[in-house]
Structure 1
């Protein structure tokens, strides 16, 4: 049995946030994918849940291209 002290509100919020993202059909999701989804979720919260407020910079586009390229290499290995 897991017990949480009254001062563990941050931990409880973390569990709740993870639970929203990790549903039953995704129970085998890798830790890296879960971390990435949590990062997106947290970033969206910073922008009031409105993705249109998020500024897409050249650096971000370059990072996306690089990630796509690495993913393609991974698929071909």
Structure 2
């Protein structure tokens, strides 16, 4: 199956995912489930960064900052 790539926002919860991205792709997801019994949805939380960029940022020392503040400032 083809890949549909979209940028936007969504909400991840304990029970699922929702938002304009999911709604935009829901027909394609449903068709995939009907054809193959399941669908895989991949979410790139940092679409503007490569894996090496993320690894480099995470390897920087955080000092006395909380992990949340460190991640926010680096990513």
Q: TM bucket by the smaller chain?
A: under 0.3
Identify, as 1 or 2, the structure richer in strand.
Answer: 2
TM-score scaled by length of structure 2:
0.25
TM-score scaled by length of structure 1:
0.25
